[in-house]
A and B are shown apart, each in its own frame.
Chain A
Amino acid sequence: GAGVSQSPRYKVAKRGQDVALRCDPISGHVSLFWYQQALGQGPEFLTYFQNEAQLDKSGLPSDRFFAERPEGSVSTLKIQRTQQEDSAVYLCASSSQGSSPLHFGNGTRLTVT
């Protein structure tokens, strides 16, 4: 079956623009995660969904970051008024349950100019 799909693969935004990043998890996967990976670093946790419920958003860097998963499948990470420090790869991952092995998408590389 298909893996985790993320779109777009690349996004260039001017400082101050809003962006929306999409994640299609593996069908039937209950848990969905967003991670942020800066260049040369390991991924850092942003937020966690179990079905449509956002159970943890403690990793979101600021209130400019917002994530949703309204029907418990597709998720969108939205960043308002982008800043240069938001430039990173945003990775989505899903699993059948919270502690199961994670399946990652290829990420969206966001560049804010």
Chain B
Amino acid sequence: KQEVTQIPAALSVPEGENLVLNCSFTDSAIYNLQWFRQDPGKGLTSLLLIQSSQREQTSGRLNASLDKSSGRSTLYIAASQPGDSATYLCAVPNSGAGSYQLTFGKGTKLSVIP
């Protein structure tokens, strides 16, 4: 069964810093990996989707990388802003026939201090 781990569980940084969030998964036979953002009391917003054939995806100040062989992904946030404060979750689909099912990590709670 796929397991997803996110480190650290929480992170507090001063505004303007660059930061890296980590995600690891146990089954490397994945089709893609997705990073989400969750604000308190809200649903999840998809940030980046990396296909298994890709090594990274970029959107604005966000860059996500994927290393399938080592079972790892990182989300890099450049020049952090207070508005980036949220919980960030990564998710991978199950392998095989149930690939529509996502397995999520517990998330990293990010606080950007003005």
Contact = CB atoms under 8 A, between A and B. Distances in A.
Interface residues of A, number: 27
A91 B46 CA distance: 14
Contacts of B99: 98-99
Interface of B: prevailing SS? strand
A63 to B, nearest CB: 20
A59 interface: yes
Given A101-B34, A101-B49, A104-B44, A33 B100 contact: yes
B106 interface: yes
A1 interface: no
Interface in A21-66: 31, 33, 35, 40-45, 48, 56, 58-59
A35 B102 CA distance: 9
Most buried by B among A43, A58, A93: A43
B interface, how many residues as a size bin? 20 to 34
B98 A56 contact: yes
A4 interface: yes
Nearest to A59: B101
A102 B101 contact: no
A99 B32 CA distance: 9
B103 to A, nearest CB: 8
Contacts of A59: 101
Contacts of A102: 34, 44, 46, 102
Interface string B18-56: 000000000000011010100001111110010000000
A106 interface: yes
Contacts of A42: 4, 89, 91, 104-107
A104 B42 CA distance: 9
B41 A56 contact: no
A59 B104 CA distance: 14
